Amino acid sequence: MTGGDWLEPDWPAPANVKALVTTRNGGVSVGPYASLNLGLHVGDAPDAVTRNRALLRARLPAEPLWLDQVHGTAVADADENTGPVRADASIATRPRVVCAVMTADCLPVLFCNEGGTVAAATHAGWRGLAAGVLDATLARMGERPENVLAWLGPAIGPRAFEVGDDVRNCFVAADPLAAAAFRPAGAAGKWMGDLFMLARLRLRKLGIERIYGGEICTYFSPDHFFSYRRDGTTGRFASVVWLSE
């Protein structure tokens, strides 16, 4: 699955659906941003981020549509936009149009249909997940859920994602089955949450059964992935997907 400084999703997508996830390695940033930080908003030197994005661009058919992510449910049309857009997901139906999301503990979810005619990338932190960003992405794809594949990228895992009653109650109130995604932590009112399980529950509720990935914890992978919960000041890695010719 891994290829040097890149991760390739292990999912049975059509041959024309291309995807990759960057790691924190192979770039020029230093300090807590070492080395392939792609986020301009985290305090890293802008020229270093520009150089890092150029390194990624060299592996892609076009510049990705970079999003101004706000933990919401807006879905951008990557076919029609080239500059930064305030959204937490994007879709593409044209070849060589690259969808991208940046994360450092939140869950990146990549989508495509079995016909290879639409692809999407979604930023699903717990707030966006609870608000329905996966639902919004599927709606914008305009595809029957049984024809959709989803891949869950690296995110904070259930041994590291400690949350309070507010987060657990938010999910359980919407779906009682979500209770299985939380186990008591040491302190009263604290829980260890399974973001991967919560995403799978949501996807299955939408009718999507072909779900892959969800095995890599950013928190416990310091040599490969940035983690905001682990480090505080840190960079961002990208998950990208596109359709080839």
Q: What pLDDT, in 10s, does the model give residues 4-23?
A: 699 999 999 999 999 999 99
The torsion region of residue 128 among left (phi > 0), alpha (psi -120 to 50) and beta comes to: alpha
Closest CA to 106 of 228, 235, 231, 245: 228
Structural domains in the chain, CATH included, are 2-155+204-243 (3.60.140.10)
Q: How far apart are CA 89 and CA 134, in angstroms?
A: 9
Reading the block at residue 137, the tokens are 């992405």
Burial class (CB in 10 A: 0-12, 13-18, 19+), 174: middle
Q: Supply the pLDDT for residue 15.
A: 98
Phi, psi of 146, rounded to the nearest 5 degrees: -70, -15
Q: How far apart are CA 168 and CA 164, in angstroms?
A: 7
Residue by residue, what is the 3-state secondary structure of 161-179? CEEEHHHHHHHHHHCHHHH
pLDDT in tens, 110-123: 999 999 999 999 99
Closest CA to 37 of 9, 64, 56: 56
Q: Give me the helices (H) in 78-194, please.
A: 126-131, 133-141, 165-174
pLDDT in tens, 186-211: 889 999 999 999 999 999 999 999 99
pLDDT in tens, 116-172: 999 999 999 999 999 999 999 999 999 999 999 999 999 999 999 999 999 999 999
Pairing of strands 119-124, 89-92: antiparallel
